[in-house]
Amino acid sequence: MENKKVLVTGAPGWLGTRVVEVLCSKGYDVRCFALKGLDLSSLKKLNVETVEGDITKKETITEAVKDIHTVVHCTGLIHPKKIKELYDINTQGTKNILEKSAEAGVKKFVYISSNSAQGCNIRRNMLMREDQKEKPEKSYGKSKYLAERAVRSFQNSGKLNTVILRPCWFYGPGQPERQTRLMKMVKAGNPLIFGNGRNIRSMSYIDNIVQAIILSMEKDIANGKIYWIADKRPYETIEIYRTIADILGVRLKPRYVPKIVSQVLEIGDDILQALGFYIQEVHVGGELVKNIACDISKAEKELGYDPKVDLKEGMRRSIEWAEKQGYLND
């Protein structure tokens, strides 16, 4: 993709920044569309062009998409203060940049969606695939699903070539505070586990996601497609906790909480979200017994996706990073 400029949204966020770092290392010409007022020091170190704006305000996007070949749209809100923010940013924001990209003659649009746009596994042993009917999970999932629909409409109308990627539970260096909190709980030796810990979760190490993004940018076979993106295999929740404990060198003595507690929290989450409110701890507690796992074989076959980093290595890198930042100190 020589001389084909790439716009990355969502930097200086976790995923967006990593995408920019890898693209720059591969010689891509990169521009970032960043929310006005954020600390852009990490991007300045990379010596990339930056346009500040707001994804919810169409007029601020015009300059960002000018002379762009490919847009990688990483901007997204997971844990809002109010439910309305999810639809403003995840849904309407995506529609805004799709519209401006089409007007500017952008050739390709890679949208970073979420497992929540699909929902949860129907059965534990039935991994989610791209051809299954979507049952979006909560307001976040609905906001991402509606964004996916908008992306597909631009593909179907011929206005843009688009690719939708659905990563799962992100992890890796640069992680947000909520991930560090889990590590600190495990380090203390007695984290809470809802149910028996045998539910399965697909996880997406950050560099595995970036690999998939670049493949989808470069390969025409990806145009108009949706791909699940995760590590080679799903992991049981207890395996995730044990892996973190082993790397930290602590003995794991989890406190098991009855499954019904998680189910009650989910009911509470539903009520709060129906009223327009969101409490992160209630939401997370309500999904910790669910099976959220996917089949990545389509991405492997069509894109050549080959996630090199597994849970043990990915968590080792994540913990090493967190320790260097002093986040795991007692």
End-to-end CA separation in angstroms for the chain: 47
pLDDT score at 330: 66
Question: What's the CA gap between 5 and 25, in Å, rounded?
Answer: 14
Question: What's the CA gap between 156 and 160, in Å, rounded?
Answer: 8
Residue 98 sits in which domain range? 6-174+201-233+292-308
Q: Which of these, 237, 225, 241, lies nearest to 292 by C-alpha position?
A: 237
Reported pTM: 0.96
Residue 216: strand, helix, or coil? helix
- Reported as a pLDDT band with limits 50, 70 and 90, residue 173 is very high
Q: Which of these, 19, 54, 14, lies nearest to 34 by C-alpha position?
A: 54
Q: Classify residue 23: in a domain, yes or no.
A: yes
pLDDT score at 190: 87
- Report, as an integer, the average pLDDT of 214-236: 98
- Report, as an integer, the average pLDDT of 288-310: 97
The domain tally of the chain equals 1
pLDDT score at 223: 98
pLDDT in tens, 31-75: 999 999 999 999 999 989 999 999 999 999 999 999 999 999 999
Which 8-state DSSP code applies to residue 164?
Answer: E
pLDDT score at 3: 54
Q: Classify residue 249: in a domain, yes or no.
A: no
Please state the separation of Cα 287 from the chain's center in Å: 17
Task: Give the CATH number, domain containing residue 207.
Answer: 3.40.50.720
* Helical spans, DSSP H, in 84-137: 84-86, 93-104
Q: Classify residue 52: in a domain, yes or no.
A: yes
Give me the DSSP letters along 252-307.
---EEE-HHHHHHHHHHHHHHHHTTB--HHHHHHHHTTS-B-B--HHHHHHH----
pLDDT score at 4: 85
pLDDT in tens, 127-164: 999 999 999 999 999 999 999 999 999 999 999 999 99
- Report, as an integer, the average pLDDT of 168-175: 95
- Report, as an integer, the average pLDDT of 182-206: 95
Q: Classify residue 10: in a domain, yes or no.
A: yes
pLDDT at 246 over 70: yes
Q: Classify residue 81: in a domain, yes or no.
A: yes
Q: Classify residue 40: in a domain, yes or no.
A: yes
Angle between helix 14-25 and 206-218 (nearest 10): 60
Integer-rounded Cα radius of gyration of the chain:
19
According to DSSP, the residues that pair with 71 across neighbouring strands are: 7, 109
Question: What's the CA gap between 50 and 93, in Å, rounded?
Answer: 18
Q: Classify residue 326: in a domain, yes or no.
A: no
pLDDT score at 110: 98
pLDDT score at 1: 44
Q: Classify residue 31: in a domain, yes or no.
A: yes
User: How do 235-236 and 200-201 pair as beta strands?
Assistant: antiparallel
pLDDT, averaged across the chain: 96
pLDDT in tens, 200-217: 999 999 999 999 999 999
Residue 16: strand, helix, or coil? helix
E runs forming strands in the chain: 6-9, 30-35, 49-53, 70-73, 108-112, 161-167, 169-171, 192-194, 200-201, 203-205, 225-229, 235-236, 255-257
